[in-house]
Amino acid sequence: MSSVGARLSPKRGQYLRAYRFMLLARVAEEKLASLYRAGLIKGGVFLGRGQEALSVSVGLNLRKGDIFAPLIRDQAGRMAFGDSVLDTFRTYLGSQLGSMRGRDGNIHRGRPREGYYAMISHLGAMIPAVAGGLMARRFRGETGVVGATCLGDGGTSTGAFHEGLNVAAVEKLPLVVVVANNQYAYSTPNDRQFACKDLLDKAAGYGIAGHRADGTDLADCLRIVGAAIEAARSGGGPQFVVGDLLRLVGHGEHDDAGYVDPGLKSAHVGRDCLKVSEEFLIEKNWASAEQIAGWRTEAKREVDTTAARVQREASPDPAEEDWRAVSIPSGDLARV
Amino acid sequence: MSSVGARLSPKRGQYLRAYRFMLLARVAEEKLASLYRAGLIKGGVFLGRGQEALSVSVGLNLRKGDIFAPLIRDQAGRMAFGDSVLDTFRTYLGSQLGSMRGRDGNIHRGRPREGYYAMISHLGAMIPAVAGGLMARRFRGETGVVGATCLGDGGTSTGAFHEGLNVAAVEKLPLVVVVANNQYAYSTPNDRQFACKDLLDKAAGYGIAGHRADGTDLADCLRIVGAAIEAARSGGGPQFVVGDLLRLVGHGEHDDAGYVDPGLKSAHVGRDCLKVSEEFLIEKNWASAEQIAGWRTEAKREVDTTAARVQREASPDPAEEDWRAVSIPSGDLARV
Amino acid sequence: MITYLEAIRSALAKLLADDPRVFLYGQDIGSFGGAFKATKNLAREFPGRVLDSPLSEDAIIGVAIGAAIEGMRPIVEMQFADFSVCGFNQIVNHAATLYYRTEVPCPIVVRLPSGGTPGSGPFHSQSMEAIYAHYPGLVVMTPGTVEDVYSMLVEAVAIDDPVLFCEHKFLYNHLKAERLPDLVAPAFKARLARQGRDATIVTYGAMLHESLAAAQELVADGYEIEVVDLRTVKPLDTDTVLASVARTGRILCVSEAWPWGGVAAEVVARVTAEGFDLLDAPPQRLNARDTPVPYHPDLWAAHRPTASAIASAMQRLLEM
Amino acid sequence: MITYLEAIRSALAKLLADDPRVFLYGQDIGSFGGAFKATKNLAREFPGRVLDSPLSEDAIIGVAIGAAIEGMRPIVEMQFADFSVCGFNQIVNHAATLYYRTEVPCPIVVRLPSGGTPGSGPFHSQSMEAIYAHYPGLVVMTPGTVEDVYSMLVEAVAIDDPVLFCEHKFLYNHLKAERLPDLVAPAFKARLARQGRDATIVTYGAMLHESLAAAQELVADGYEIEVVDLRTVKPLDTDTVLASVARTGRILCVSEAWPWGGVAAEVVARVTAEGFDLLDAPPQRLNARDTPVPYHPDLWAAHRPTASAIASAMQRLLEM
Ligand SMILES: Cc1ncc(C[n+]2csc(CCOP(=O)(O)OP(=O)(O)O)c2C)c(N)n1
Ligand SMILES: Cc1ncc(C[n+]2csc(CCOP(=O)(O)OP(=O)(O)O)c2C)c(N)n1
Ligand SMILES: [Mg+2]
Ligand SMILES: [Mg+2]
């Protein structure tokens, strides 16, 4: 399928923008990994290495005013939707100045007011929430809005996925659910996760459209995800996209992923989408190896300065916390 | 499809046994309804009128040693699996002597030790439980065992349904899930419940076999459900059966079902499976109108005497209750 | 006369009429009007704003959360409180944490038809207020009067935080009032339901009426029992409780929920920590039995606190 | 030296070896050995009895319940306690009610990797013991020592009722013991972890160690603080707590769970109802703050009770 993607040549500008976000995400994640190894990030670091092409295609095809609920491995898509290197590092490092102010961290970040929902850990849970956001837009008469959310192969086994997708289908909402089938849920391979021949077989069960993308091929991802988002935007109801790829890193940085089948690594699905896109750029003469190297240096500079800057920022001060989980003015509650 | 069912003629003996259970269930439920109207049954009464053919086909095709987790509208299937008129009335009337001893009631009854699981209200919840029961049998090396459970169209929207069916598919368990699509979930019509063209479209999403039965035609139900159970028994993995029919009564006896589309009542799906089977018996000369009338009188006599007997039985005495939800000997817990 | 149930419907109608951000979502609440008819006619009166949902509690709550993020004021109905456990994750992990995590509030109201009625059994009788109150970020209201169920539901929608609205099924049609209130106490203040002198009963919901009946019974023995209606169990108005205990020196907490970690436990723990010196006798609790709610009406009546059970518990407390 | 985590693995190995009815089911517990390696090597040592599940908590618990009905002794692992809410309905409505409703017990063990660790945040840090303890029909164990986590897990499988086994992640690798116990106290008895005279701290889990450290701190001020380790919070061994309060007259309950209706509330409510006259000062509670568990290690450290926070709470209690 990637060949197809390659044949119908993608738009140069979009492809280049997408590549730059992929590169920035890759470089940022490499930095996060090193900070984790250095013990500077507590908890965990969860990377999207190898999944940038699919992820960026979601963020890039969405517009301002759309809703995006990214998941664990969407650094590239988040950035394409407007998230910054700065807030990424602030959130991972728990900075008071980050969008989560140290109260939540790593991938659990967002700015809901800007349509950028902050995931909770419980997989599948964001699907009905995005559906609800889209229902709100419809109540307000807004049209042409799309809501997209990402999930992994394991996430498709949750009740939340099923209920959320079904509700969206019944309401015919412009929801796009993109499943990154990276072959494993943590250590669990597809054959212990589901028994359908193909995850796309699930679409018919909800009465929604299904699309397959080659997750290792940026051109194909841009085209397929773009088409799905366009279909949702133009009233086609929920769209279900499955991208096949391989997680080229551990589940988290604590995990050496020793369980990954070597056969998959050497297979088409195991290709590094970043490398593939670089070869494509060069083959197309859209960029030279030197330019690409320059972009990487640029990205590295931005990431390193940002990381350094955030490490100098003050941690949240417990004494300054109001320790209140409700927004009700304290006055209204003698004691909670 | 019913015509097909009628063409391949069913086995006379099985058909007659099935009919007698349907009749007994129908008569028993009519009595339950009158006791409810008389204020003798508190809470609610939930009937399977119009669903007897599909339900009985499940109970009748199961064997001793199989597992059955019936649901709301399975009086006929319960009786075919071994439940009695006596325990039905004892449970509805909360008799101390019933299987639930007045602690639970109406359709929430069973004898788990005998493979007859007692449903909890939360729809979909019995599916993974039956799957677990089947895993236990497999651990013990028992083969040729089948587990069956019933559900409604609304129940397919629950996360429990999705997770349970998926787990059973991954484990390739001999589970048969029979969905009685009676067109409504309480008052909610199919088109507010799901958007797939056909509930059978869900089977492929789990990688399991799907079967359709005409829920108004006993012959078709016996054949299709029988084939599904046989397929599971012989190692075919989970089987998904959808029977189309109409609930010919309110959701509960409190409900006049005014919301039911008259068009459906007059359509094929709105046929009363009991009447249809009686016509079939007569057409086949397997029974005369007189015999059938006689069977009904017999059934009525059994039901009335049983109801009278149970009404004379003592209610549970609160003073006799130990009020303990755990089985740990009280001695072991100074105070719980 | 207006019933507790009609008061809920009136509040919903008023909310839909006054606030375009409000919509209702839940099973069978549209043209059917809901399992208890709390939304009767509302789908017709407010076209497109009273929506039937699939049989999917997790999605129902999730949808409400997303809509709230976008500025709506969703009111969702669980057909029975007992089924809210199927949407539990969305309530306690998504709605309850949103404001703390993102500064974006989550103004949803989850209506929970709660509590026992004869013959309802283990899965249609539960009182879940203690479960939800344990979680930070949630407001849990337990109105026990017609006036309160109306005014507190209106206030619940005004509040920016997720509100679990525990309306008691036993009161739906039994409880009647002359008319709807115009002036009402704020939802977070407990109310002195009966003045007394010898001891205080702290309670809420359907138990308010059992407690008032018990207090009345005890008049014959010459006792004047004060009754405090908590109205909202989280936040919990400890001050009003302490003020009553300061007058009476004795406290019995009555709740229909299960004992372990219930409302009564929380009230006793607060009163002893903050009002120890006010106490002339050990504070007592009376809850439902620690078993599932039984089906048979006789077992059910013995499972929950009743006026006479409350009266005898109070007798014992008064003799301490 | 054996760690708390290794003790869990040893108990699981012993159970698999001794009892053919035992099997393990959960996410990534097979060849991978589990997110925390509690089942490391067990899939190899016990082929076909340590099964990876799909990402489906509701189904995982449901499967365990069905297997238990058929006579097995399933032990399921939730990857984190926080995710057990996705199987909540099966736990509280199916497993917990089965014995009461049908007389058929439901001997499942649900392992809940519980409690906070630095940087784990709102969804990988929760302490859910109070939530499960509120429900009738469940046993809730909260082992705080290497010996207990081993012997109580073995006992949990022997018990015919559903057991929520709250193992504390903070102790997994920090806590070490010389060897596994042979003789152990029954799971339902609280333990006097430290003898004292001036006041009692009642606690469990990771807070046991913070409390012991606090008690040690207070020695400098000449105080002898008694520490009671509840070990199991439901059933709750009130007698042992009362016996200690009888000696000291003062009680502080310390829990990492949220305050409202938590273990501390239940303990205080019992002690005041049953041991009022033993008290020389108002019983106090110290819990985590009533907000989600924050991500940043500094916020986390201020959110949960620590040795120094416990020591100062005790100082205040001692001065009352
Ligand atoms: C409901 C729930 N259960 C368990 C977890 C723990 N968990 C976090 S990520 C993960 C694996 C997810 O696999 P997949 O959905 O394929 O996404 P991937 O990590 O492969 O991108 C698990 C089990 C969770 N987050 N939510
Ligand atoms: C999880 C859950 N939510 C809500 C209910 C309340 N309820 C009981 S039956 C019912 C309708 C069920 O419809 P369907 O599954 O089609 O079965 P039918 O009643 O039509 O046989 C509902 C909503 C429930 N039992 N479980
Ligand atoms: Mg995956
Ligand atoms: Mg139906």
pLDDT range class, residue B3, cuts 50, 70, 90: very low
For C293-311, how does the pLDDT look when each residue is reduced to its tens digit (9 = 90+)? 999 999 999 999 999 999 9
Average confidence (pLDDT) over B220-233: 98
pLDDT range class, residue B6, cuts 50, 70, 90: very low
**B121 CB under 6 A from ligand 2?**
yes
User: Which helix (H) or strand (E) covers residue B312, if one does?
Assistant: helix B289-312
Q: Is A271 exposed, middle or buried, given 0-12, 13-18 or 19+ CB atoms closer than 10 A?
A: buried
For D256-313, how does the pLDDT look when each residue is reduced to its tens digit (9 = 90+)? 999 999 999 999 999 999 999 999 999 999 999 999 999 999 999 999 999 999 999 9
pLDDT range class, residue B334, cuts 50, 70, 90: very low
Q: What is the pLDDT of residue B4?
A: 45
Q: Give, as one character, the DSSP assignment of residue D174.
A: T
Query: From the DSSP assignment, how many helices (H) and strands (E) are in chain D?
Result: 12, 14
| B330 pLDDT above the threshold of 80 | no
**B80 CB under 6 A from ligand 2?**
no
Backbone angles phi, psi at D75, to 5 degrees: -120, 115
Distance between CA atoms of residues C23 and C167, nearest Å: 19
Which ligand 2 atom is nearest residue B158's CA? 1
Average confidence (pLDDT) over D107-135: 98
Say what percent of chain A tops pLDDT 70. Answer: 96
pLDDT range class, residue C63, cuts 50, 70, 90: very high
Residues 6+ apart with CB under 8 A from D319: none
Reading the block at residue D192, the tokens are: 């006097």
**B155 CB under 6 A from ligand 2?**
yes
Q: What is the pLDDT of residue C185?
A: 79
Distance between CA atoms of residues C81 and C285, nearest Å: 23
Q: Is A28 exposed, middle or buried, given 0-12, 13-18 or 19+ CB atoms closer than 10 A?
A: buried
How many angstroms separate the alpha carbon of residue B129 from the centre of ligand 2?
18
Mean pLDDT, chain C, whole residue set: 97
**C84 CB under 6 A from ligand 2?**
no
pLDDT range class, residue B328, cuts 50, 70, 90: confident
Residue in B72, B104, B126 to alter for ligand 2 test, most ligand atoms within 8 A of Cβ = B72
Mean pLDDT, chain A, whole residue set: 95
Q: How far is C126 from chain B (nearest CA, A)?
A: 12
Is 0.85 exceeded by the ipTM? Answer: yes
| B1 pLDDT above the threshold of 70 | no
Among D54, D69, D161, whose Cβ lies nearest the Cβ of B133? D69
| B47 pLDDT above the threshold of 50 | yes
pTM of the model: 0.98
Distance between CA atoms of residues D288 and D304, nearest Å: 4
Among A121, A132, A140, whose Cβ lies nearest the Cβ of C66? A132
Start-to-end C-alpha separation, chain A: 58
**From the CA of B184, which ligand is nearest?**
4
pLDDT range class, residue A4, cuts 50, 70, 90: very low
Distance between CA atoms of residues A58 and A82, nearest Å: 12
| B7 pLDDT above the threshold of 90 | no
Query: Are the beta carbons of A60 and A222 closer than 8 angstroms?
Result: yes
How many angstroms separate the alpha carbon of residue B107 from the centre of ligand 2?
13
**C27 CB under 6 A from ligand 2?**
yes
B321, B326, B336: best mutation site toward chain C, by most C Cβ within 10 Å?
B321
User: Which helix (H) or strand (E) covers residue B181, if one does?
Assistant: strand B175-181
Q: What is the pLDDT of residue B8?
A: 65
For B77-105, how does the pLDDT look when each residue is reduced to its tens digit (9 = 90+)? 999 999 999 999 999 999 999 999 999 99
pLDDT range class, residue B57, cuts 50, 70, 90: very high
pLDDT range class, residue A331, cuts 50, 70, 90: low
| A5 pLDDT above the threshold of 90 | no
Are B102 and C85 in contact (CB < 8 Å)? no
How many angstroms separate the alpha carbon of residue B86 from the centre of ligand 4?
27
Average confidence (pLDDT) over C236-240: 97
Distance between CA atoms of residues C141 and C144, nearest Å: 10
Q: What is the pLDDT of residue D182?
A: 82
pLDDT range class, residue D185, cuts 50, 70, 90: confident
Q: What is the pLDDT of residue D270?
A: 98
Average confidence (pLDDT) over B134-147: 97
Average confidence (pLDDT) over D47-61: 98
Which ligand 2 atom is nearest residue B193's CA? 16
How many angstroms separate the alpha carbon of residue A119 from the centre of ligand 1?
12
- The three-point CA angle A136-A140-A144 to 5° equals 85
- Is residue C124 flagged as an active site residue? yes
Q: What is the pLDDT of residue D184?
A: 74
For C122-160, how does the pLDDT look when each residue is reduced to its tens digit (9 = 90+)? 999 999 999 999 999 999 999 999 999 999 999 999 999
Q: Is the four-CA dihedral A62, A64, A66, A67 of positive or negative sign?
A: positive
Please provide the size of chain A in residues: 336
Q: What is the pLDDT of residue B329?
A: 72
Q: What is the pLDDT of residue A239?
A: 99
Chain D residues close to C236, C-beta within 8 Å: 260
Count of CB contacts below 8 A, A vs B?
A: 84
Are B197 and A207 in contact (CB < 8 Å)? yes
Query: Of these residues, D94, D124, D168, D303, which one is catalytic?
Result: D124
Query: Are the beta carbons of C177 and C146 closer than 8 angstroms?
Result: yes
Q: What is the pLDDT of residue B9?
A: 80
Which ligand 2 atom is nearest residue B124's CA? 1
For C22-45, how does the pLDDT look when each residue is reduced to its tens digit (9 = 90+)? 999 999 999 999 999 999 999 999
Residues 6+ apart with CB under 8 A from D226: D192, D194, D195, D196, D197, D199, D200, D201, D215, D244, D247, D248
Residue B269: how many CB atoms within 10 A of its CB? Answer: 18
For B247-275, how does the pLDDT look when each residue is reduced to its tens digit (9 = 90+)? 999 999 999 999 999 999 999 999 999 99
pLDDT range class, residue A9, cuts 50, 70, 90: confident
Average confidence (pLDDT) over B62-79: 98
SS percent in chain A: helix, strand, coil, step 5: 50, 10, 40
Average confidence (pLDDT) over A17-45: 97
Q: What is the pLDDT of residue A329?
A: 72
Are A333 and C235 in contact (CB < 8 Å)? yes
By C-alpha distance, the chain D residue nearest C85 is: D89
For A48-80, how does the pLDDT look when each residue is reduced to its tens digit (9 = 90+)? 999 999 999 999 999 999 999 999 999 999 999
D33 touches chain C (CB under 8 A): no
Among B185, B316, B325, whose Cβ lies nearest the Cβ of C55? B185
Which residues, by Cβ under 5 Å, contact ligand 3, an ion?
Answer: A 152-153, 182, 185
- The closest alpha carbon to B83, from B105, B116, B113, B47, belongs to B116
Query: Are the beta carbons of A109 and A87 closer than 8 angstroms?
Result: yes
Q: Is the four-CA dihedral C197, C202, C207, C209 of positive or negative sign?
A: positive
Residues in contact with ligand 1 (CB, 6 Å cut-off):
A 72-73, 121-123, 152-155, 158, 180, 182, 184-186, 247, 251; D 27, 55, 57, 79, 83, 86
User: Which helix (H) or strand (E) covers residue C74, if one does?
Assistant: strand C73-77
Say what percent of chain A tops pLDDT 90. Answer: 94
Q: What is the pLDDT of residue C216?
A: 98
Chain B residues close to D74, C-beta within 8 Å: 132
Q: How far is A52 from chain C (nearest CA, A)?
A: 26
Q: Which chains touch A (3 or more CB pairs under 8 A)?
A: B, C, D
**B77 CB under 6 A from ligand 2?**
no
Distance between CA atoms of residues D231 and D229, nearest Å: 5
